[in-house]
């Protein structure tokens, strides 16, 4: 599969993986499942789940640092501004920083996988699920798998092909 196939798959993820409701309990359920997976698989990652006005879940597993939280902040800003998964931007534009003309300063925005928009039926994008600590494609995959599991959908149906 090439980049075009991956872009189409990420667009499908964004379109199909829509929650019927989103609140503190949902954030906790999804975030806790990611943390449990990380501990079982020995993954060093930070999980951040939020609405645009507040953080609802945060967890860091061993091996992470303050840098991971900083990457999360920048990925969240990117998802909010561009209204798409941050990994989709990687696929569409490459990982080079935004140009100065874009107004998206590298201090506050990053093109890196791991930020996934939280969509709610009838409301649109209300927040973001963000992972940091793994390579960008893997960060993205962890986020998508968790939302699939929450929705009762087989994650394999939405997973990107292994590189």
Strand ranges, E, within the chain: 18-19, 46-51, 54-60, 115-120, 124-132
Q: Does position 69 have pLDDT exceeding 90, yes or no? A: yes
Neighbour count for residue 104 (Cβ, 10 Å): 19
Report domain extents, the chain: 3-153
C-alpha to C-alpha distances, 157 to 17, 30, 84, 117, 134, nearest whole angstrom: 11, 19, 20, 18, 22
What pairing do the DSSP bridges indicate for beta strands 18-19 and 115-120?
parallel
Percent of the chain with pLDDT over 90: 88
Per-residue tokens: 78: 């990117």
| 8 A C-beta contact, residue 106 and residue 70 | no
Pick the CATH number of 3-153 from 3.30.450.150, 3.30.590.10, 3.90.650.10, 2.40.50.100: 3.30.450.150
What mean pLDDT comes out for the span 149-160?
97
- pLDDT tens, 14-33? 999 999 999 999 999 999 99
Least Cα distance to 80 among 14, 146, 125 occurs for: 125
């Amino acid at each position: 599969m090439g980049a075009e196939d991956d872009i189409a798959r990420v667009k499908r993820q964004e379109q199909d993986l829509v929650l019927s409701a989103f609140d503190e309990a949902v954030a906790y359920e999804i975030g806790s499942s990611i943390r449990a997976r990380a501990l079982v698989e020995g993954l060093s990652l930070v999980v951040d789940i939020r609405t645009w006005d507040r953080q609802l879940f945060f967890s860091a597993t061993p091996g992470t640092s303050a840098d991971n939280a900083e990457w999360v902040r920048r990925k969240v800003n990117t998802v909010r501004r561009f209204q798409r998964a941050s990994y989709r931007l990687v696929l569409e534009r490459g990982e080079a920083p935004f140009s100065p003309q874009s107004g998206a300063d590298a201090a506050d925005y990053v093109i890196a996988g791991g930020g996934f928009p939280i969509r709610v039926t009838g409301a649109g994008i209300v927040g973001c699920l963000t992972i940091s600590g793994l390579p960008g494609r893997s960060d993205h995959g962890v986020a998508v798998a968790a939302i699939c599991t929450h929705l009762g959908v087989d994650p394999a149906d939405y997973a990107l092909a292994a590189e």
